[in-house]
Chain A
């Protein structure tokens, strides 16, 4: 049962929580993952590539299962599978940004193939069902120092890459033709971003599991973008939301028998719902007051 003391004595709870090294590891890993997912997810949602992101995430399942089967560290499997998936989608994605529908069908086929393959690997391995649950729905137990360091390294690489390409990527996402005319390598950025996404997804799914990556990668940026159209602000909000979801999720699941993935997903969904409601309320208010809502001008 979930422990009610959580809500009544926060300081003591947090103190208790931090007394365990595995919990400290989990919090550190969760924080790293949340920041990465908040930033990468923000671009993903803006570029409308959520489905591609989800497919890459699902591919992490056969990746990890295959790694277990082959007897190599599962993290290795995550990164390889997600990287390959990103490249594959990138290759098929040339016309995708224009064409729409066809691409999603191709990605969907890859996705179910990945799921089936993962299940096959796992059956070949030994058929331990517990493992399956962890791979799909995530865990915060048993994260060691090495894993935290690897996550940190990946996060630094991903964020550094985004700092460099961030602005042209934004232009290429919003206005590919103008970007192309201005000499921005749109095509290379497409593939490059998918690789960045692959890295971020591989890192995230080690905590949230393959199926629930979305809770961190989509819900926070979607909520942030629903709240404000200002790019800088919504990017910051996206990271803040991801951190909130992760920290609260970890805290609550420590005191609960229910899995981490459930809480992260629920909080992410709740956040998105609240953001949408707030947006709706603001729109209603603006309509009632004819002069409109003159948002303060500030370019970021």
Chain B
């Protein structure tokens, strides 16, 4: 049975994975109740774990250093408590060679050397590997579910609009991939 993470962990972790996001986007990340999420964010702000800031025309929440430390402590306790460390470590090891290939595909695409059909084909193959990897981890920690669905949704969009490959304004293939990378290293408490 997959472990369900507590809401306060999910709220803080959603801020970390989004990097910088408004309350609605934080709630949407793990499909949490918007009002509950707002309350939790205000609590976290009182503890100095998140701060509200504005960049140009964009306002949102981000973690403070104290927030990073608290998030990492919660993730570490969760791994110890559920005994899922071995599974996540194995998934991270599987991820690294896939990440090298994905970064190569994204970079080649951006540098105008990537053929669109070939790029989509290679990303589709990575999606298959991602599916396998996600099933492995999500079987222990349910919060890991959803990356494959978002990645393939981006891939479908990319057929008509290439911004979905590496774009920063949409939930592109690269954005999903980057987020999974962050999630794995955050969960294992390692640095990039």
Partners in one complex: no
Q: Which residues of B contact A (CB under 8 A)?
A: none
Binding site for B on A (CB under 8 A): none
